[in-house]
Structures are given as C-alpha cells and as structure tokens.
Amino acid sequence: MEHISSCIADRLVLNQIIDESDRIYYSYSIQLILERIVGISLICIASLFVHAFFQIAVFLMIFAVVRMSCDGYHCKTSIGCFIVSVLVSLSTVPVSYVYLLCPEIYQVGMILSVIFIFCVGTIRDPNLGLTEREWCHLKKRSRITIVMVGIPIIVLMILVPRSLFVSYMALGVIYNAISLMIVKITGEEVPDNE
C-alpha cells in the first residue's frame, strides 16, 4: 500500500494538485485510506463466507465507535494490523455463540468491560503528543462514549437474552476493553509525566 500511495501522491505533485512539501502527508493519508478500504473489504468478504455479514457489521460499528474515543493496542506494522483486524473480526463468530449458551458470562464480561473502559478512559498514545488538557478532554470523551454505548447494550442483554446481534454488540465493547488491557499490560502507553 505504501508504494501505491506514494505513486498516487507523486502523480498529484506532478499534476500540480498538491505541493511537493505536502507530498509525504498525502502519501501517508492515502495509504491509511487504502488500508482501511482493503481491510474492511476483506472482512466483509470473509463475513459473507461465514454467513455472518450483518452480525460482523454490527460488531465493527460498535467496535469502531468505542475505539475512536478510547484507542487501544496498535500493531507495529500495517500488515500486522491488517491480519489482527481480520482475525479479531472473524473470531466474533464462534465467540458469539458462547453468549447463546451462557448469557450470564457475557453480561458479567460486558459490565466489567464498561467499568474498565470508564476507569481507564483512554490510553496516552505516544504518537499523538497530546497536552495534559487535550488528554483529559480525550478521557472525558471516552467515558461519555462508553456510557452512551455500553449502558444500552447492557440493558439489551438483560431485555433480550440470547440475541445474536446483541452478543456482537457486546463483543465490540469487550474486545475494546481487551485491547486497552493489552496496552496497559505491555506498557506501550506514554507515562503521565511525559
């Protein structure tokens, strides 16, 4: 993807659409967009093969909303991120059936995940270079998001036990909590005093 995005950015410079000084930013942005398109496309195709397109779409929507505000683990390479994203998305299919067998386990996992994400808020991403004020604002946004997303899902889990779609919603939150835990355990977060 890096080569393709670099070629596109070069073409934009050549056609005088962007300045040479902005080429690196456009190249990186194009690379991110292409990786997202390819990743989501592959997940969609794979979800069709396992007959869980709508369920995985629900998972991805919930996962993305929470992830945008609380962040989480980042792989070292884009190919690593791509592989992990596909595997995590497809793992929801067998894991969601645990919910059908024992919804109480999911309910407890969901409640613990909401509490954990609320307490942690977000991670201090070393790539963002946030000020203390910006970081506090991000934590506040993360807490608001988890309350707005997590509480309705918990209520749905109680009102509609053994709903497959609700299990995929819950997995979107639970997987985010796991991602945050991985960052905390591995110490990939920037310390508060930096």
The mean pLDDT of the chain is 86
The rounded distance, in Å, linking the Cα atoms of 4 and 31 is: 8
pLDDT in tens, 183-193: 888 877 655 54
What are the backbone angles phi and psi of residue 9, rounded to the nearest 5°? -65, -40
Query: For 109-121, what is the mean pLDDT?
Result: 93
Number of domains in the chain: 2
> Which pLDDT tens digit goes with each residue over 27-52?
888 888 888 888 888 888 988 988 88
* Cα pseudo-dihedral 37, 55, 79, 30, rounded to 10: 20
Domain boundary among 30, 49, 68: 49
Query: Which pLDDT score is estimated for 192?
Result: 52
Based on the fold, state whether residues 169 and 82 are members of the same structural domain: yes
Q: Do 60 and 30 have their domain in common?
A: no
Domain membership of residue 193 (yes or no) is no
Q: Kindly state whether residues 37 and 85 are assigned to the same domain.
A: no
- Whether the pLDDT of residue 21 is over 80: the answer is yes
Q: Kindly state whether residues 84 and 31 are assigned to the same domain.
A: no
- In a shared domain, residues 77 and 43: no
pTM of the full structure? 0.82
Same domain, 13 and 62: no
